[in-house]
Amino acid sequence: MSDDIRTTIGLRPVINVSGTMTSLGASIVVPEAIAAMSSILPQFVEINDLQRKASAVIARLTGGEAGFVTASCSAGISLAVAGAITGNDLLAIERLPEVTTTKNEVLLQMGHVVSYGAPVDQAIRLAGGKVVFVGQATSAHRFHMENAITENTAAAVYVVSHHVVDYGLLNLKEFVEIAHARGVPVIVDAASEYDLRIFLEQGADIAIYSGHKFLGGPTSGIVAGKKELVRNAFLQNMGIGRGMKVGKESIFGAMAALEAWEKRDHAGIRERETSYLNLWKQTLDGRPGVTALIEPDPTDNPLDRMRVIITAQDAHITAWDLADALARGTPPIVVRDHEVEHHYFYLDPCNLHPGQEKIVASRLGEELDKARASNEIIATPLENRSKHRFDGALRWPD
């Protein structure tokens, strides 16, 4: 632990079993990206030439015609929407977020209006887009979308995520078919997806990925797709994109992460993750009030997670109190708890350093033993959690 920079600077050495979370530093950056970043940091480069090199790598890996690197997937959504609104009109680009055209409407299925830490519709509004919601939370039909398209429609955004409503909505192929029938470009938010080709293959005009999620790159966004649309998004670097700037290190680091992704031993990693899940299942099976299920990723990424269902009456602790106890402990362990009101959380094996799976197993065992030994059921009201959810942020930096 002594060579852990975090303890040196007074940070808690968090173990991340929640997935790729911005709030925890996203992911473990692959050695290839770290090496690339440090090799380019001392040098001057012509940034647009470096972005040209990035374009070639992105095109090769995604099957798109062109691509570039920006600050984040969220930035990529704003830039792609801005490009769809302004085209290559440099004055319109400078005027954003004020819009001089009426063609700034952007379609978004109601069931796709999610927050990935900030609301997706804000990324559209930031670019001067006027969001037009299609359908209702759990239903979007062809007639909703067909009638939402007018001469003012600039683009349509499609979100791929475990956060979106997963039934009753238009799938990407239908969404693309309806949009393209009226000449509307489709922008896909694929931030957290492993498959770098499928969304463009299914007809999306632009697909955007986070460089810092499964790719294990530096914090960045990768915009890929049709050349003209990608170029119009890229030109926003002379406008709203300035505040979403990435430097040479992030561009080159994202390129290296993409190339490493191509060569990564995906089967080997899956096997390792499966061994973690099996260890946790052995640890949890047979404990009173605990059910451990291995479940596939909801958006079909080649990744399984463990759903840990807690019956407080028998485990003597609620799912959220267990999650909080793990996060408070030594070392702190952060589980995937965004659905914890349903009495379960997930353990995500994709961001562990080897050996940490054993610490997770033993901490789970410790907290569950402690709870069982307690005469009272540890059950703080769920409302307390939501009431105090933003306390820390609102007090920051103290």
Q: Which is nearer to ligand PLP, 26 or 61 (CB)?
A: 26
Q: Which is nearer to ligand PLP, 75 or 312 (CB)?
A: 75
The DSSP letter of residue 127 is T
Q: 101: which residues sit within 8 A by CB, 6+ positions away? A: 85, 92
Phi, psi for residue 355 in degrees, rounded to 5: 105, -30
Q: Which residues bind ligand PLP (CB under 6 A)?
A: 22, 72-74, 116, 159, 161, 189, 191-192, 210, 221
Q: Which is nearer to ligand PLP, 162 or 281 (CB)?
A: 162
The DSSP letter of residue 209 is E
CA distance to 3, 41, 92, 171, 184, per residue, from 205 (Å): 46, 33, 22, 15, 9
Q: Which is nearer to ligand PLP, 31 or 298 (CB)?
A: 298
Q: 34: which residues sit within 8 A by CB, 6+ positions away? A: 253
CA atoms within 13 A on the CB side of 102: 3
CA gap 284, 363 in Å, rounded: 11
Contact 279, 271 (CB under 8 A): no
Q: Which is nearer to ligand PLP, 166 or 285 (CB)?
A: 166
From the list 175, 207, 176, 213, the residue with the least C-alpha distance to 194 is 213
CA atoms within 13 A on the CB side of 270: 11
Phi, psi for residue 221 in degrees, rounded to 5: -125, 140
- Closest distance of CB 141 from ligand PLP, Å: 23
- Closest distance of CB 217 from ligand PLP, Å: 10
- Closest distance of CB 315 from ligand PLP, Å: 31
CA dihedral 29, 33, 302, 304 (to 10 degrees): -10
Q: 9: which residues sit within 8 A by CB, 6+ positions away? A: none
- Closest distance of CB 181 from ligand PLP, Å: 26
From the list 120, 111, 117, 126, the residue with the least C-alpha distance to 175 is 111
Contact 179, 149 (CB under 8 A): yes
- Closest distance of CB 7 from ligand PLP, Å: 26
Q: Which is nearer to ligand PLP, 77 or 229 (CB)?
A: 77
Q: Which is nearer to ligand PLP, 68 or 280 (CB)?
A: 68
Q: Which is nearer to ligand PLP, 221 or 289 (CB)?
A: 221
- Closest distance of CB 372 from ligand PLP, Å: 36
- Closest distance of CB 208 from ligand PLP, Å: 8
- Closest distance of CB 322 from ligand PLP, Å: 25
